[in-house]
Amino acid sequence: MARKKGRLTQEVNAGSMADIAFLLLIFFLVTTTIASDKGILNVLPPKQDPNQPPPEIKLNERNIFNILVNANDQLLVEGEYIDNTDKLSEDIKDFILNFGAPDEEAIALFNSLPASLRNRAKRDPQSSDHPMTGGAVVSIKTNRGTSYERYLEVLDQVKRAYFEIYAERVGLTADQYRALSGKTPAEKELLDRGKEGIPMAISIAEPDKIGGI
Amino acid sequence: MSKFKKKTSTSQNIPTSALPDIIFMLLFFFMVTTVLREQEILVEQKIPQATQLQKLEKKTLISYLYIGKPKNVALFGTEPRVQANDVLINTKDIVLWVNQEKDKLSEAERDQITISMKADREVKMGPISDVQFELREADARKLLYAAVGKVQN
């Protein structure tokens, strides 16, 4: 057999293959979006019957936490002008867990709370009665000229207050609590235990038209 | 000097044959984790940031509404518009659209339809609340304000 001496191993030059693969990769990067179905969940109130007047809900003024946002994205929280929303969720937590005038059921709820949440109860008669249904409502009222970004920022803070309360009740962090899917019975139990007795009462009022579009 | 010269004259190439494999692995990873853009988005989309994000469970139940300033200003003007599927629709057509979307779902899931509202952060609350009103009329009350995560400080 005629064999050449000192022949090197014959390797196919694969350097350009990497370039081709890079081209494909970049094409996919450009044409695809990473699936992001994340956001803030909200359940709208049911449709109003035009023949019937809206139901009168008797709620004391002290049980409503008013957040007003005007067309210039300025905030009025409980009648006071505030600059930013940094402390908003803490204020809302204080409001929800005030226990100003609890009934028997609310006292039972109060006793079931962990000590860190119980310490928040200021029992201020000027603030909310109890966090149960009809006891504390957070109301967000915007203007038609308010920017969506500001609205979402405020809603985010309100949600944060509730999630932090829920998470603290079951001994998790708010992030962990929000990540619970409720698919397994254990997760569902945690979710329900967090929410029990403290409904997420967020009222989003119809925006008014003054000063907007 | 010539004493130390190496005898073999093999070229000192770094073997690069594994590089395409690595790139292909990257490529497959991206192909698996992403979805192809199903529809062209006709409105501007700068999704606002938020911290308290929740993930949605069932993708089949979600329908998407895009709200924002049209990209094609010459054709559609500068006022925020609503895009459903791949057309711009008027606010009053939302009820019709929701019903079409509901028809695609099975009977049992029809009332669980979730609307994912991808609104541009520049949009004012006026158009948003109009859309919300129409969604209430259409009885599609589960609404997700799409947002991207913000780093908490």
Q: What is the 3-state secondary structure (H, E, C) of A62-79?
A: HHEEEEEECCCCCEEECC
The closest CB to that of B124, out of A41, A45, A213, belongs to A213
Asked if B144 lies within 8 A of A143 by C-beta distance, the reply is: no
Beta carbon pairs, A and B, within 8 Å: 175
Nearest neighbour of B37 by CB, restricted to A6, A33, A178: A33
Q: pLDDT value at position B38?
A: 66
Q: Is the ipTM of this complex over 0.90?
A: no
Residues of B in contact with A163 (CB under 8 A): 52
Residue A21: its pLDDT value, please? Answer: 82
In the prediction, which pLDDT does A198 show?
83
Does B123 contact A147 at a Cβ distance shorter than 8 Å? yes
Report pLDDT digits (tens) over A157-185: 888 888 888 888 888 888 888 888 777 88
Residue B70 lies in a domain: yes
Averaged confidence pLDDT in chain B: 83
Model confidence at B99: pLDDT above 70: yes
Residue by residue, DSSP assigns A87-99 as THHHHHHHHHT--
User: Which residues in A lie closer than 8 A to residue B128 (C-beta atoms)?
Assistant: 148, 151
Q: Do B50 and A20 lie within an 8 Å CB cutoff?
A: no
Using the Cβ of B105 and the Cβ atoms of chain A, whether some distance falls under 8 Å is answered with no
- What confidence tens digit (pLDDT) does each residue in A71-99 have? 888 888 888 888 887 888 888 888 888 88
Residue B20 contacts A, CB cutoff 8 Å: yes
Q: Do A179 and B141 touch (CB under 8 A)?
A: no
What region, left, alpha or beta, does residue B143 occupy, with left being phi > 0 and alpha being psi -120 to 50 degrees?
A: beta
Give yes or no for B119 touching A (CB within 8 A).
yes
User: So what's the pLDDT on residue B9?
Assistant: 66
CA dihedral B72, B75, B77, B82 (to 10 degrees): -70
Task: Tell me the CA distances in angstroms from B104 to A108, B107, B110, one per residue in order.
Answer: 46, 9, 9
B43 occurs within a structural domain: no
* B127 within a domain of the structure (yes/no): yes
Which domain range does residue B80 map to?
A: 49-149
Are the Cβ atoms of A145 and B52 closer than 8 angstroms?
no
| Residue at token pair 């409105």 | B43
| Partner-chain contact A33 B15, CB within 8 Å | no
What pLDDT is recorded for position A213?
A: 46
**Angle between helices B125-137 and A148-169 in degrees, nearest 10:** 60
The stretch B80-102 carries a mean pLDDT of 88
Question: What pLDDT score was predicted for residue B152?
Answer: 60
Record: contact B34-A35, CB cut-off 8 A: yes
Average of pLDDT values for B94-118?
88
Q: Structurally, how many domains does chain B consist of?
A: 1
Is residue B11 domain-resident?
A: no
Residue ranges of the domains in chain A?
Answer: 61-204
Q: What is the torsional sign of CA B67, B147, B151, A147?
A: positive
The list of chain A residues with pLDDT below 50 reads 212-213
pLDDT value at B82 more than 60? yes
Q: How far apart are CA A53 and CA B57, in angstroms?
A: 36
Query: Which residues of chain A does B34 touch, with a Cβ-Cβ cutoff of 8 Å?
Result: 28, 32-35
Instruction: Tally Cβ neighbours within 10 Å of residue B152.
Output: 9
Residue A147 to residue B139, Cβ atoms within 8 A:
no
Q: Which residues in chain B are contacts of A6 at CB distance < 8 A?
A: 8
Probe site for chain A from B22, B54, B116 (most A CB atoms < 10 A): B54
- Residue A115: phi and psi, rounded to 5, are -60, -35
Q: Is A147 within 8 Å of B125 when comparing Cβ atoms?
A: yes
Give the residue carrying structure tokens 């350097």. Answer: A15
Q: Count other Cβ atoms within 10 Å, centred on residue B33.
A: 10
What CATH number did the domain enclosing B114 receive?
3.30.420.270
φ, ψ (nearest 5 deg) of residue A109:
-65, -40
> Reduced to 3 states, what is the DSSP secondary structure of residue A189?
helix
Residues of chain B with C-beta less than 8 angstroms from the C-beta of A146:
124-125
Chain B window 36-75: which residues touch A at a Cβ cutoff of 8 Å?
36-37, 48, 50-57, 59, 62
Instruction: State the maximum Cα–Cα separation within chain A, in Å, rounded to a whole number.
Output: 105
pLDDT reported for residue B5: 62
Say whether residue B25 is in contact with chain A using an 8 A CB cutoff.
no
What average pLDDT does the segment B57-84 reach?
86
Q: Has residue B19 been placed in a domain?
A: no
DSSP-assigned beta bridge partners for residue B68: B81
**Does the residue B104 lie in any domain?**
yes
Residue reference for tokens 């957040």:
A67
